[in-house]
Structure 1
C-alpha cells in the first residue's frame, strides 16, 4: 500500500509554546529553515503532540512536555488554551478523501483535572456513488457530542470514534506520523533484536531496522549504502551486527575487510546512517508511515555532503511526506531546491513567525541568480509579510 503524498496539506495552530498563531501549507518535502531557537522544533512538536494525545490521553501528552504551563504560550495576557488544526488526506476506496481534524485544550477552571478538551472536531469528505458529498465526522463542544451525549471532558473522542471505518483511517493515519531527533549516544547502545520494527525517536533500534531492510528490502538497503558511500567516501555500508539475541550496528569501510562497531563510528557517519534509515525504514517502504519528520538531519555532516543528503530527502518524499528542520545554508546551496517547499522560521519579540519565502527571494532563485543557501548566509531570507 502506498500512502497519499503529501499527507498533511495545511496546519494551523494557536498559542502552542512560542507560536502565537500560524498557518502552514505543506508540500511532499517541507523544509523548516531558521536559526537555532527560532521555534522550528516547537512546530514539529505540535504535530507530535497530536500523535501522542491520540495514542494515550491529552493529559499524558501535556505531562510528557512538563505540564500545561510549558505548552501554553507565555505572553503579557493570560493564555489558558491552545489549538491545533490539521487538513490532510486519507485513502478511501483508492481515492484521497480530504479530512479536517482539530482540537482546543485548556485549563480546567474547576481544578478537578489538569486540563479539558474545549473543542474537538473531525470532518471527512467522501464522494458517494451518485456524486453527492457524504460527511462522516463529529463535533465535540465541552465534552458533549450532539446526538451522542457526553464523554470524559479530558479525553479526545477520535480514538473512540475510530470504530467507524473512515474515522479509523483518520485515527491510524495521524498515529502513523513518525518523528526523529537522533541521538548518536543512544544509537550506539546494544539492544534486543526486534524484527520488523521501526526506528525510534532517538534512533533506537537502528541495527534491527538495517537487518530488516537487508532481509526484506535489499534494493533499498543498497540505496542506504549508496547514499552513505556518497556522504562518507571511505564507507562501503552500514549493517546490523548481531550478538546472540542482541543487535547493534557496524560500519564497513574500503580499507580492507575490517568492520567497525558502534563505538568506533564517527558521530557524523552514525547520524547520517540514522537519517537514511529513517527515510527508508520498513514502515515507509510498506506504506504504513504517513509522514517522517527529522530534526536537523545535517548534524555533524561535512558541508560537501549536504547535496547528497538533500537527494536522499527528495527521493524519500516520493513515497512518504518528509518534514525537516534545519539551520544549514549548505543543505540549500543548490539551484534545484524549490522555494515553494521551504518555510522560513524567525523569532520576533519571543514569538515564532513561520512563512513562505518572500517574493523577492523567490524571484532571485527562480531566475538562477542565486541559491537559497547564499541568501541565507547573507541574512536575506525572510518570511512573506503576514506569514
Structure 2
C-alpha cells in the first residue's frame, strides 16, 4: 500500500494544504518553522489516535486548541484525508480515508470517519465505513464489492466513545477487510524520533522487540536478535556498513557478565574492537538506519527527519540510495532535510517544498515548476538549485 495524496485542513500550520502524486521516496525541504515536522506528525497523530484515542493524541500535542489552525474559528474541524492504493479481492483500488475532528463541550469528537473506494471502474466511490460521533456502519461482505448488482450488507455499530476511531475496533475483524488492512498499515508506520544518546550504551539482554523503536533505544537488542536468528540479514547490514562507512571491519553484539548487551565495532586499523560508547555519532546513526532499512519485516511507511545530522556530507548520496532502495522493495519513505548534498541525490519527481505565507503553509511539488524542470533537464542538481534560491518562496529572507 502506498499513500498517493494527503489533504490537510486546520492541522496546525496547514489551514488548507494538499500534497499529491506522492512518490515511494519523498523528500521534503523548507525553511525552519514552515511545518516539515508538522507534516510528518500527521502520520504520528493518526497512529496515536489508533493506538490510544483522539483525546490522548491531542493531549500529547497540547490539546485541541494547539492543534487546530489558529484563526480557524471555534466550530472548525481538523481534517485529515489520505488516499492510498491497496489490493482488495484481487483488484488494486484507490482507497480514501477521511477523518474530521471537532469539539463539543470542550471535548474532542470524531465528527466524521469515512473509508471509501469504487466498486467498479465507473461511478462514485462507495462508503465501506461511515461513522459519526461514535455511531455508524461498516460493510461486512466486501468480497461482493466487484459485483455491482449484489447488495452489500451494512452492519450498524456503536463505539465506546465519541473520540474513538472506528477502524480501531472494526479493524480487528477480518470481515471488515478495508478497515482491517488500513489498521494494520497504520500500526506498522514508523515515525522516527531517533536519539543518539538513547541508542548508545549497554541494554538489558532480556526482552522482546520486533522492530527498531522510534528513539532507537533498543538498537542493541534488535542487532543481537538479527545476529543470533537471522545472520543473513545481519551480514547484509554489516556489508552495507563496510561500503558506506570507511574503516568499519566488523560489528558484533556481546553479552556482559551482568546480563547486559553491548555493540562492539572493529576498526580495520586496530586489533581490539571499540564499544559503542567510543564510536562516532555518525557511525551509530548509520548503523541504526541500516538496521531499520533492512528489517526482515519492513514498515509500509518510514518518516525520517533530517538524517544528515551527525553524518558526513559525503554519506548523503549513499544514504539517499539506501532510502530509495527501501522504497523500491515496497516500502514508502518520507525524508525531510536541510542538506543540499542529500537533495542532490534526489530526483525531480521526488522533491516537495514548503512555503509559509501569512502564517499558513502550502506544499509545492518540484516537478510542477517549469523552471526547476528545465534546469534539471539541462543537468542541474536539486541541492544546488535549492541552495541558490531557485525554489520560489522557500528562502525565509
So what's the TM-score if we normalise by structure 2?
0.84
Distance in 1, matches of 2:45 and 2:305, equals 15
Deviation at 1:247, TM superposition (A): 2.8
Partner of 1:24: 19
Gaps of 5+ in 2: 138-153
CA distance in 2, matches of 1:132, 1:74: 38
Q: Aligned to 2:85, what secondary structure does the other structure show?
A: strand
The reply on whether 1:372 has 2:382 as its aligned counterpart is yes
Tell me if 1:338 matches 2:351.
Answer: no
Alignment correspondent of 1:54: 50
Kept after mapping to 2: 8 A contact 1:119/1:139: yes
Structure 2 counterpart of 1:301 = 311
- Please identify the structure whose Cα radius of gyration is greater: 2
Q: CA deviation at 1:192?
A: 2.7
Residue of 21, 34, 37 corresponding to 2:33: 37
Q: Matched residue pairs, number?
A: 367
Q: Which moved more, 1:163-172 or 1:51-60?
A: 163-172
Q: Equivalents in 2 of 1:132, 1:333: separation in Å?
A: 43
Residue in 2 aligned with 1:11?
A: 6
Q: Residues 350 and 228 from structure 1, CA distance in 2 versus in 1: closer, same or farther, beyond 3 angstroms? A: farther
Say if 1:14 and 1:82, in contact at 8 Å, map to a contact too: yes
Give the structure 2 partner of residue 138 of structure 1.
Answer: 129
Question: How far does residue 77 in structure 1 lie from its aligned partner after superposition?
Answer: 4.9
2:313 equivalent to 1:317:
no
Quick check: 2:233–2:296 contact (8 Å CA) kept in 1?
no
Q: Secondary structure at the match of 2:297?
A: helix
Q: Partner of 2:276 in structure 1?
A: 262
Correspondence list, 1:75-90, <5 A: 75=71, 77-78=73-74, 80-90=76-86
Show the counterpart of 1:183. 195
Structure 2 CA distance for partners of 1:121 and 1:308, relative to 1, 3 Å: same
Q: 1:247/1:283 Cα in 2 relative to 1: closer, same or farther (>3 Å)?
A: farther
Distance 2:158 2:26 in 1: 39
Q: Is the 8 Å Cα contact of residues 307 and 337 (structure 2) preserved in structure 1?
A: yes
The alignment partner of 1:317 has SS state of: helix
Q: Is the 8 A contact 1:121 1:138 kept in 2?
A: yes
C-alpha displacement at 1:216, in angstroms? 4.2
Answer whether contact 2:79 2:99 (CA < 8 A) is retained. yes
Distance in 1 (alpha carbons) for counterparts of 2:12 and 2:31: 17
Q: Relative to structure 2, which stretch is displaced further, 42-51 or 139-148?
A: 139-148
For the residues of structure 2 that align with 1:9 and 1:254, how far apart are their CA atoms?
44
How far the C-alpha of 1:328 sits from its partner, in A, is 0.8
Alignment-derived partner of residue 253 in structure 1: 267
Superposition RMSD on alpha carbons, in Å?
2.6
Deviates more, 1:96-105 or 1:48-57: 96-105
Post-superposition Cα deviations, 1:7-44, rounded to whole Å, max 9, x if no partner, equal: 21111111111111211122111111123322111011
Separation (CA, whole Å) in 1 of partners of 2:65 and 2:351: 31
Whether contact under 8 Å (1:224, 1:280) holds in the other structure is yes
Separation (CA, whole Å) in 2 of partners of 1:71 and 1:199:
28
C-alpha contact 1:196 1:282 (8 A) present in aligned 2: no
Question: In the superposition, relative to structure 1, how do residues 327 and 252 fare at CA in structure 2: closer, same or farther (>3 Å)?
Answer: same
Q: How many Å apart are 1:224 and its aligned residue?
A: 2.4
Change (3 A) 1:155 1:165: closer
Tell me the alpha carbon deviations over residues 322-375 of structure 1, each in whole angstroms, 9 at most, x when there is no partner. 1111111111224xx32111111232233222110122112211221x100100
**Aligned residues of 2:114 and 2:127 also touching (Cα < 8 A):** no
Q: What is the TM-score normalised by the length of structure 1?
A: 0.86
**In structure 2, C-alpha distance between the alignment counterparts of 1:77 and 1:250, rounded to whole Å:** 56
Deviations along 1:232-259, one digit per CA (max 9) or x if unpaired, are 2122244433335433423221122322
Matched, 1:283 2:292: no
Does residue 63 of structure 2 align to residue 67 of structure 1?
Answer: yes
Alignment partner of 2:86: what SS?
strand
Query: Would you say 1:226 and 2:239 are equivalent positions?
Result: yes
CA distance in 2, matches of 1:95, 1:60: 36
Q: Using the alignment, how far apart are the partners of 2:163 and 2:284 within structure 1?
A: 41
Cα distance per residue 1:268-314 (max 9 Å; x no partner) = 22122222222122331xxxx21111111111111111111111111
